[in-house]
Amino acid sequence: MSVQPGSAITRRRLTPSAIQALKGERPIVSLTAYTTPIARLLDPHVDFLLVGDSLGMVLYGMDSTLGVTLEMMIAHGQAVMRGTSVSCVVVDMPFGSYQESREQAFRNAARILKETGCSAIKLEGGAEMAETVDFLSSRGIPVLGHVGLMPQLVNTTGGYRSLGRTEREAAKIRRDAKAIDDAGAFAIVVEGTVEPLAREITASLRAPTIGIGASPACDGQILVSDDMLGLFNDFKPRFVKHFAELAPQISAAAEAYAAEVKARSFPGPEHTFTVKS
């Protein structure tokens, strides 16, 4: 029996193989999470949570993901695991932690799994990373692949933009997706890829595709949770939908709090402790 996210039936934590088996059954639901409180709120409603290296930009104000460290990913992976019980948790491998060699990738991926208790890791890369994906997968480390727009390569690919508009770009993304699929990734994120191409790739792969700025035909979808919640209003990519508008609510709450503190109406008697007679 396939149990839907949020079901009243008690669910066991989903595994990477269970995520993979959802291809062709129903769309896969995913969001990013970086902290225990947010993970706890999202956990009943998603199939997997990604502790993305996007935390560098979302939480730390970095200009890109390149400054994120392995230690940061492990700390936030631990935090998310504390807030979840049913969703599969995947932790991103940061830039420089896996590209040097498959042995380096194994050491760091094994460390992430051991120290966080997560179920899988994610790494970016196409055909050039296929050997590493195979090396990890065959040694007990489930891998979520990532092709198309790869934020860790932003300095060499001309910035954040949609890809696959030229035949050369499209051919490369096709090769990358097939290589990572053949290497044994349990699923593959397809980011910033034009819709007809993402649809074509989804139909051609054994592994489910997880779209972000790709196609509604992908086997699943993922968004950065802070984007989905409307916490950033200064920049909204085309592929983002705000399912809430929390930024103005937070600002209004802070304004109301400040006003009450200045007026000495908060805290009131009900918010203070008194000595019992």
- Owner of token pair 């902290």: 35
Picking from 203, 143, 149, 151, the residue whose alpha carbon sits closest to that of residue 178 is 203
Q: What's the CA gap between 98 and 132, in Å, rounded?
A: 8
Locate the DSSP E strands across 198-246: 209-212, 220-223
Picking from 26, 21, 19, 25, the residue whose alpha carbon sits closest to that of residue 47 is 19
Residues in Cβ contact with 159 at an 8 Å cutoff, skipping those fewer than 6 apart: none
Can 191 be counted among the known catalytic residues? yes
Binding-site residue positions for 3-methyl-2-oxobutanoate:
53-54, 92, 122
How do beta strands 88-92 and 120-122 pair? parallel
The one-letter amino acid code at 213 reads G
Q: What are phi and psi of 223, to 5 degrees?
A: -135, 155
Rg of the Cα trace of the chain? 21
Candidates 191, 195, 255, 270; catalytic one: 191
- Angle of helix 102-116 versus helix 130-137 axis, rounded to 10: 50
Picking from 108, 202, 208, the residue whose alpha carbon sits closest to that of residue 164 is 202
Residue 176 CA to its chain's centroid (Å): 20
Locate the DSSP E strands across the chain: 28-32, 48-51, 88-92, 120-122, 143-148, 187-191, 209-212, 220-223
**Would you name the residues annotated as active-site residues?**
191
